Amino acid sequence: MPDKLITMSRAESPAQVSPRRPVMLAIAGDSAAGKTTLTAGLVEALGPERVTGVCVDDYHRYDREERRSLPFTPLHPDCNYIEIMEQHLRQLATGQPILKPVYDHATGTFGRPQLIEPTEFIIVEGLLPLHTKLARACFDVSVYLDPAEATRREWKIRRDCRKRGYTPEQVLAELDRRARESAEFIRPQRAHADIVVQFAPLDGAAEDDPLSAIVLLRPTIPHPDLSAVLTDDTRRALHLKLMRDEDGKPVDALHIHGHAPRELSGDVERLIWDSLGVDRELPETLGMIEPGVRTEPLALSVLIVLYHMLAARTANSRRADG
Amino acid sequence: MPDKLITMSRAESPAQVSPRRPVMLAIAGDSAAGKTTLTAGLVEALGPERVTGVCVDDYHRYDREERRSLPFTPLHPDCNYIEIMEQHLRQLATGQPILKPVYDHATGTFGRPQLIEPTEFIIVEGLLPLHTKLARACFDVSVYLDPAEATRREWKIRRDCRKRGYTPEQVLAELDRRARESAEFIRPQRAHADIVVQFAPLDGAAEDDPLSAIVLLRPTIPHPDLSAVLTDDTRRALHLKLMRDEDGKPVDALHIHGHAPRELSGDVERLIWDSLGVDRELPETLGMIEPGVRTEPLALSVLIVLYHMLAARTANSRRADG
């Protein structure tokens, strides 16, 4: 303790005391791809006091009224303050506070900006967090959510009708209107993510069958040693497969089976959780998308991303101490 | 030109091309000290396309409603996002854009933030731009407006009643409520300014007599050579006097006489204007505080500050070229 006090008083001003760098996680994906759900799962697992959430869709340049007369949708980079987003991400990544703009999705207008002070982990989710090289350089781990398009449309209709007051026809028309910009600006971010999570029904599954997930683990970051988890006993819950991605590049694909027995998935989850060394119990609600409805592929995806956030934290601490 | 293109294409990304640094001017002072009037005069003289105005009172932390239950006024640094202000000043000083918060003084609430892209000159005015060392380090030239207290009270009553809908009694009560924090946080900035402008009636002047001004020129920046202007012919309009400031430190004091004949002051103004090399005519409206009402001390103060902004620009260009 005395050592620390001496160091502090030697510094010329508090701003020169280099703050501990937070772990920066990006969750990119199209509208209703599951970004908020994944974020909520991570916050729950780590505890809200350790995590700061930032939605970069708040960096919209125009309000809803102004956009009516413009030729592009919020998916277009020109519709967003990309340079300010880059600036703020850089500031957060170096442990500085930001005054973040706030866009109210309910009213389509801008509200009072919000002070964000970095905590141990920062989760940045939105449509375009991986759009530019400068933005990508700010992240320790990046995730792209890539659900099957039919699944995403279903999710978007359900959410926008329930929570944002639209009719299904309005949502479908909006999806069509956005399709070109989605392909041009959102989807290319997939190639830059360390982890791609694809939720989809299994081929030939009935409508009510639980979704499965394929988690692509790119060799851009070191992935967990899953040998203790991937055994003959757990094959019904998940298995790993070497495959080629859309672009022909080799990638590890972790297949998580939604139809696996709950007990088996639960065992796997506890096995991973215990290896993480988080100082709390495995949250009961992990993987729950609404009260009573669990999805094990979501729970396992959360745990994989969590592994990477904690690994990045260890790496950052080593750098700070070394 | 070809040289420049080569340099540009060698840079790894546009953000690494160091933008030309703008000239940063601070105008600090208490409420109704004349900050907006001085800013308007400078913008008019330079042309609005070359100047960006930033009011740092927009960095309020609380809206009017929230302040009702708080023990301090907007003059208190804790009532403002000082760290964010410092961050934004640093960004502007290095040629980067900011997304500035916007506080609406009419409604007392926060509005949509505003993108500020630096131009050649940036004028930062407000209650606390010189409060911290990090903020002060961002400025090329700093001004503190220090009108006689009776004059400032008169100005504040006039403005707040005309433009903000208060009664004189309300304004006087607010002035009393703020007096302690004004002395504690606003006034100490005076010691850090390169230039202090004091508007006051001459001793024994009648109520309607024009105000005079004393412009203190601290030896912290090189001041103009006024020998061509300060002659026996112009003594009735202005004179320079070596004196001691309140703190005992030596300072040059330029006395500008409000009662000097308009023609003589006009001659002095043209003499200074011509020496500045601004590529336009001396604005007719220089020193006008409302239609038809001119004050020569204001016009001359604008010209002195203008001299320093242009000198800083020359110094910055030399540094950029060298």
Side-chain half-sphere CA neighbours of A231 within 13 A: 8
Domain contains A40: yes
Query: Distance between CA atoms of A3 and B52, rounded to whole angstroms?
Result: 46
pLDDT tens-digit series, residues A15-61: 444 457 999 999 999 999 999 999 999 999 999 999 999 999 999 99
Residue B6 has pLDDT above 80, yes or no: no
Percent of chain A with pLDDT over 90: 63
Q: Compute CA distances A203 → A60, A239, A296, B168, B226, whole Å.
A: 38, 17, 18, 77, 87
Q: Compute CA distances B118 → B26, B52, B91, whole Å.
A: 15, 7, 9
Dihedral angle computed from the Cα positions of residues A159, A125, A30 and A293, in that order, rounded to the nearest 10 degrees: -40
Closest CA–CA distance from residue A89 to any residue of chain B (Å): 13
Domain contains A287: yes
Amino acid making up residue A15: A
The residue assigned the tokens 């005015």 is: B125
Domain contains A10: no
pLDDT tens-digit series, residues B104-151: 988 899 999 999 999 999 999 999 999 999 999 999 999 999 999 999
| Total of domains in chain B | 1
Confidence of residue B83 (pLDDT cuts 50, 70, 90): very high
A315 touches chain B (CB under 8 A): no
B82 touches chain A (CB under 8 A): no
Mean pLDDT along residues A90-106: 95
Side-chain half-sphere CA neighbours of B291 within 13 A: 0
Q: Which residue of B has its CA nearest to A59?
A: B99
Confidence of residue B322 (pLDDT cuts 50, 70, 90): low
**Residues of A whose CB is below 8 A from B11:** none
Mean pLDDT along residues A172-182: 95
Closest to A220 in 3D by CA, of A132, A144, A322 = A144
B91 to A87: CB separation less than 8 angstroms, yes or no: yes
Q: Give the CATH number for residue A151.
A: 3.40.50.300
The residue assigned the tokens 């500031």 is: A91
pLDDT tens-digit series, residues B239-258: 999 999 988 888 999 999 88
Q: Which residue of B has its CA nearest to A135?
A: B15
Domain contains A9: no
Checking DSSP bridges between strand B141-145 and strand B212-217, what pairing results, if any? Answer: unpaired
Task: Give the helix/strand (H/E) hosting B293.
Answer: strand B293-294
Closest to A95 in 3D by CA, of A137, A133, A138 = A138
Segment of A51-65, A196-210, B233-247 carrying the highest mean pLDDT: A51-65
Residue A321 has pLDDT above 80, yes or no: no
Q: Which residue of A has its CA nearest to B63?
A: A112
Please, are residues B166 and B160 in contact by the beta-carbon 8 Å criterion?
A: yes
Of A15, A84, A101, the CB nearest to B97: A84
Domain contains A6: no
Residues 166 to 205 of A: which have CB under 8 A from any B CB?
none
A81 to B99: CB separation less than 8 angstroms, yes or no: yes
Of B87, B101, B115, the CB nearest to A96: B87
A113 to B110: CB separation less than 8 angstroms, yes or no: yes
Residues 233 to 292 of B: which have CB under 8 A from any A CB?
none
User: Interface pTM (ipTM) of the complex?
Assistant: 0.83
Amino acid making up residue A299: A
Domain contains A139: yes
Residue B176 has pLDDT above 80, yes or no: yes
Domain contains A63: yes
Residue B4 has pLDDT above 80, yes or no: no
Q: What's CA A24's distance to the chain center, in Å?
A: 10
Output the six-digit token pair for B108: 């007392």
Q: Which residue of A has its CA nearest to B14?
A: A134
DSSP-derived 3-state class of residue B22: coil
The phi, psi pair for B319, rounded to 5°, reads: -65, -40
B97 to A109: CB separation less than 8 angstroms, yes or no: no
B65 touches chain A (CB under 8 A): no
**Average pLDDT of chain B, as a whole number:** 89
A134 touches chain B (CB under 8 A): yes
Q: Compute CA distances A298 → A37, A50, B36, B265, whole Å.
A: 9, 21, 56, 78
B48 touches chain A (CB under 8 A): no
Sign of CA dihedral A291, A293, A299, A305: negative
A84 to B63: CB separation less than 8 angstroms, yes or no: no
Query: Distance between CA atoms of B22 and B121, rounded to whole angstroms?
Result: 5
Residue A4 has pLDDT above 50, yes or no: no
Sign of CA dihedral B284, B287, B290, B295: negative
Closest CA–CA distance from residue B231 to any residue of chain A (Å): 47
Q: How confident is the model at residue A31, as a pLDDT?
A: 95
A115 to B91: CB separation less than 8 angstroms, yes or no: no
A99 touches chain B (CB under 8 A): yes
Domain contains A279: yes
Q: How confident is the model at residue A319, as a pLDDT?
A: 75
pLDDT tens-digit series, residues B261-309: 888 888 888 888 988 888 888 888 888 887 777 888 999 999 999 999 9
B96 to A87: CB separation less than 8 angstroms, yes or no: yes
Please, are residues B22 and B95 in contact by the beta-carbon 8 Å criterion?
A: yes
Mean pLDDT along residues A99-112: 93
Query: Distance between CA atoms of B307 and B194, rounded to whole angstroms?
Result: 13
Closest to A138 in 3D by CA, of A100, A91, A77 = A91
B224 vs B309 pLDDT, higher one? B309
**Average pLDDT of chain A, as a whole number:** 89
Domain that holds residue B198: 21-316
